[in-house]
Structure formats: structure tokens, C-alpha cells
Structure 1
């Protein structure tokens, strides 16, 4: 392995990579400030509200929020620097290794945690007795286990797999890791880190929606319909954003893998990292989703908006009364 890297990248005939980089830079620069401020607001209330941290249904969502916050605060500056200049921020072999391992670990962790959230929420609504009885093994342990598996697997594959790296400092994530080009480990990697968790998310979300709708009458008789629909909405809000941004990548990978002769467009989509930028939308949108998924945060946000609205209405009334008082005083003086 060499510290030198290829500085030239192939010119795309289908995708305008420079335009894509400019559009992403503008969008990410606009949304990163409100996203960060909202994330800090959520962190404040997570630290302040004991009931938010102790509620069992909030644990997975808070864990997903923390992983997303780490990615937003630690990796987004590298991405913005690359999008601004068109080159990797630190053109060294070690930095490329670090950036790739960091990105892969967090993305895999988010997918695994979303898959766990889907199963966990299904048990909360359909089989609450089983979850309460074995919550240590079904609820708490998987969150830590899946995160550790994602980090250990991604870091081991990037840092220790025996292949020769050829990094490109003009490509996002330095062009990716060399192990993904190996047929066996590359195929396993896509199935294990993308297909499996994404399939689990979609399956349990669809299954839970069907079960809730089919058991609507019985749930209404037990007065749990509104509560379960609320928990279902929380799950869908968190899972939907990650599913939507990962589906384009997944579809391209499936089409490329099942085609005997993949088109040039498919090959360019795989190698240009155009679709990878879409995934960062879920990182920036993660705080917004968590506001709706955490009832305590949503209530605080609603109170904040209501108080702000009342102040604006009060100021408007005072401004309307003040000219009338002034006019009356002028008339009396005359």
C-alpha cells in the first residue's frame, strides 16, 4: 500500500459530477445550520427531561439520534470541504482510511439500529408482554450489540482486509475501500450492511401497519388504538427517511448485480458517489424526524411555537392600540 494516490478521475459522459457537487454544497450549507441548532435543542431536553430518557419507546430513537448527530458534527465538515474544493480535505493515506471507516461504521450502525427499531416497535404494539418480560435481551442488548457489530465489521474490513488501496483525492470518500471491489467480500458486504437491514425495516413496517389496521376494532375496545397509532407514526417517521434515501443506492446495486452487462450509466452511478450524497439528507433531516418521533420534544416544540405566536399577537395588538391612543391625545389637545 502506498501513500501516493491517483489524482485524476475518469470523466463522466452521463453525470455532471461538478454540477452535482455544487448543488449538494448549496443544499447542505443551507440546511446544516438549522439542523445543528435543532439537534442542540433536542440534546438540551434529553438532558433535562428524565421521563424522556426513561420511556422505553424512546431509547432506540434517542440512540439513532445520537449516531446521526455524531455523523453530522464530525463528518459533514469533511464533506462540505470536499464539495467546496473538489478535493479531499487532507490528502493522506491515513485520512482516507479514517474517513472511509468512520463513514461506513456510522451508516451501517444507523441501518442496523433502524432495523432493530422496526422489530422493537412491532413487539411493543403487537406482543408487549414478551417485550416486557425479556426487555433486557430484546430491547437493551441489541442496541449495543448491533452498534458494536457495525463498528467492528466496518473498521476491520476497511483497515485490515488484505488488498491494495488506490485512493483518489478528487473523489468523495477517496473513492471507497478496495475490499468492495473483491467479488466475495464485496457481495457479502452489500447483502450484510444494506440489503438485510433495509429488508428488515421494510418488512416489519409493512407488517406492523397491516396488523394495526386489522386489529383496529379490538384495539379500540381496549382503548389502545390512539396510543398504538402514535407509536406507529413515530416508527414510520424515523424509518421512512432512512429507507427513502437508501432505496436509490439499493436499486442501482441490485440492477448492476443482476445485469449480465450493466449499462455505462449504472457503472457511473456506482462509481461517481452521486447517490451517496442523497444519504446525507437523512443525516440533516434526523433532528426534524426526532422532534416528531419523541412526544416530549414535540410537546416542548409546540409550546415554544405557541408562546412565540402569542407574543407576536400581543405585540401586534399593542402596536395597534398605541396609534389610537396617540390620535386621541392629539384630538384632545386641539
Structure 2
């Protein structure tokens, strides 16, 4: 473990854009709002039976729960790092744990968004496939479990059995200790991770989204004799498009960077801040997801209640006029 004085002497690559104090309050405030938004939606999704039993909400619940690991663990660790100027506690175990929490949140989110896109095709155009409990387990629950368990187990196995621990592998002056157990001299493992876990998921998600848009146009404009119930499935479609656009726009720059570095021999010495900046960008997508999901959340649980509350506060109190007493003529 290095001393604090030697730690603070090194250059902090993350201080290139915003001062420490400003970054500290921005990230802390944004993470708090994102956490409140996630808990609010999870409360309604888990306590309201109509929302809890809807198959299309299960992947949304999984995405919100995955985001909690970043909001409750990853981001607070990073906030402490910004406040102190170094990783605390400065131990190899903490660096490995922090790396795993960060990677599982990012990867599970990528896989869940892919499965959400694929499942929307079945829920919208082939909803009869989920009539029986056996079909629901085969086509819904088992794939959902797989898309969550695979990235968790993959990076756990790497963390436990594949290691590149050498004296310079932990840099406590950098977020996440600038640590990765994946040996960069192991070309096969690195390229498998980039291609199978990132590129294939991004490509399949893009193709699935384009195919879903095309199917909607086909059913609405051409197959008029068998129209899809647009009003019934519009929220599912718009919710998926907003989530996919958000995650793709934030994750694509990092994916392109890794592809250029590992397959086009791009030097990583071009800009030391570039990779960390792209990682921050990808992390921001997880913090933004709850707000995007809230826009497609049933408005009767949040927007209508706020409107009703504000209208009641602004409405002037009604004056009760006593009825006039009419006496009979004498």
C-alpha cells in the first residue's frame, strides 16, 4: 500500500475537465436523483400486481436493480475517490471488488437491453406464445435468467482464475485503480470479451431494433387487414427505442475505441484521458436510464398525482354561502 503523499504526487488524469469540488457535487447530486427515481419505480413495479405480473416489465425491473449496484456501490466509491484524491481503502482486494461491481453493472445492462429488444418482437407480434406457464418459462424467464447470469459468471470467473497481478497493476491515483484482471497479452481472451460480449451484443441489438421498426411500419401501413394493436403496444415500443438510443449513443464510442486498439493497432498513448472519459460516458448512461424509463412509466402513478396535488394547492378555497332564510308573509 502506498502512502498518501506518494499517491497525491502522481498526475490525476480525471482532473482534466472539471475541478474536484464541482465534479464531486455534480455526480453526488445526479446519483441521488437517479437513485430516488429507481427506487420510486421499483416500489410501484413490485407492489402493484398489474405492473408486477406484466412480462414486459420484468426486464425493466432487472435493469433498475442492476443500476442500483452502480448507484449504491460504484458511484459512492468514485465520489469518495474524488473527495480524497486517491482510492480508499487502497488495497488490492478493494480494487478487484470495485472493478467487478463496475463491470457487472455495465455488462448486465448491455445484455438486458439486448434481451429486451429481442423479447419485444415476441410480446408485440406473437403474444400467444406466452399463454401457458411452460411457454413463459421457456421463452421468457429462462432467457432472462441467462442474460443476467452469463455476464455475472463470466467476469467472476475471470476475477478468480485469470489474473494479471504484478506490482504496477494497482494505481491508487486512478479510479477503479486502473485495474483489469484480463491480461492484455492474452489476445484470445481480450478479443473474445470485445467481440462476444460487446460487439455481438451491440450488433444484434441494432439489427433487432431496426427489424422492430420495420415490422411496425409493415403491419401499420401495408398489412392493413391484420393490424397490430398500436395503442396497446406503443408504450413498449417507445420505451425500448428510448432505452436503446440512450445506451447505444453512450456505449458505441467506447466499443469503437476498443476495436481500434485491439484490431487496428491504435496506440493508447494518443490521449491518456480518452479511455477513462469514455468509461465515464458509459457510466452516465446507467444513471440516465431511470429517468428515461420514467417517461414511459404509467402516468397515473406519478405525473397525474403531481398534477392533482399542484392543482389542489393552487385552487382557492371554496366559500360556503349559507342559504337565505325566507319568511312567509305575515
Q: What TM-score comes out, normalization by structure 2 length?
A: 0.83
Q: How far off its partner does 1:308 sit?
A: 2.5
Alignment of 1:146-161 (within 5 A): 146-161=147-162
DSSP 3-state at the match of 1:204? helix
**Aligned position for 2:251:** 246
Mapped pair 1:204 → 2:203:
no
Hey, what's the Cα distance between the residues in 2 that align with 1:186 and 1:21?
34
Hey, what's the Cα distance between the residues in 2 that align with 1:206 and 1:124?
16
Hey, what's the Cα distance between the residues in 2 that align with 1:140 and 1:29?
35
**Aligned position for 1:329:** none
Among 194, 197, 214, which residue is 2:198 paired with? 194
**Aligned position for 1:328:** none
Mapped pair 1:291 → 2:294:
yes
DSSP 3-state at the match of 2:86? coil
Q: How far off its partner does 1:21 sit?
A: 6.8
Q: How far off its partner does 1:4 sit?
A: 6.6
Asked if the contact 2:198–2:255 (Cα under 8 Å) also holds between the matched residues in 1, the reply is yes
Q: How far off its partner does 1:290 sit?
A: 2.4
Hey, what's the Cα distance between the residues in 2 that align with 1:209 and 1:309?
38
* RCO higher in structure (CA 8 A, sep ≥6): 1
Mapped pair 1:173 → 2:171:
no
Mapped pair 1:234 → 2:231:
no
**Aligned position for 1:124:** 123
DSSP 3-state at the match of 1:75? helix
Asked if the contact 1:179–1:186 (Cα under 8 Å) also holds between the matched residues in 2, the reply is yes
DSSP 3-state at the match of 2:170? coil
The more displaced of 164-173 and 3-12 is 3-12
Mapped pair 1:215 → 2:219:
yes
Hey, what's the Cα distance between the residues in 2 that align with 1:281 and 1:263?
23
The Cα RMSD (Å) is: 2.8
Cα distance change on mapping 1:283 and 1:263 into 2, 3 Å: closer
Asked if the contact 1:238–1:293 (Cα under 8 Å) also holds between the matched residues in 2, the reply is no
Query: Which structure has the highest helix share of the two?
Result: 1
**Structure 1, unpaired ranges of 5+:** 322-334
DSSP 3-state at the match of 1:181? coil
Asked if the contact 2:250–2:282 (Cα under 8 Å) also holds between the matched residues in 1, the reply is yes
Among 17, 34, 41, which residue is 1:19 paired with? 17
Cα distance change on mapping 1:243 and 1:220 into 2, 3 Å: farther
Hey, what's the Cα distance between the residues in 1 that align with 2:270 and 2:56?
43
Q: How far off its partner does 1:226 sit?
A: 2.0
Cα distance change on mapping 1:222 and 1:268 into 2, 3 Å: closer
**Aligned position for 1:309:** 310
Q: How far off its partner does 1:261 sit?
A: 4.7
Q: How far off its partner does 1:10 sit?
A: 7.6
Q: What TM-score comes out, normalization by structure 1 length?
A: 0.83
| Number of residue-to-residue matches in the alignment | 310
Hey, what's the Cα distance between the residues in 1 that align with 2:297 and 2:64?
11
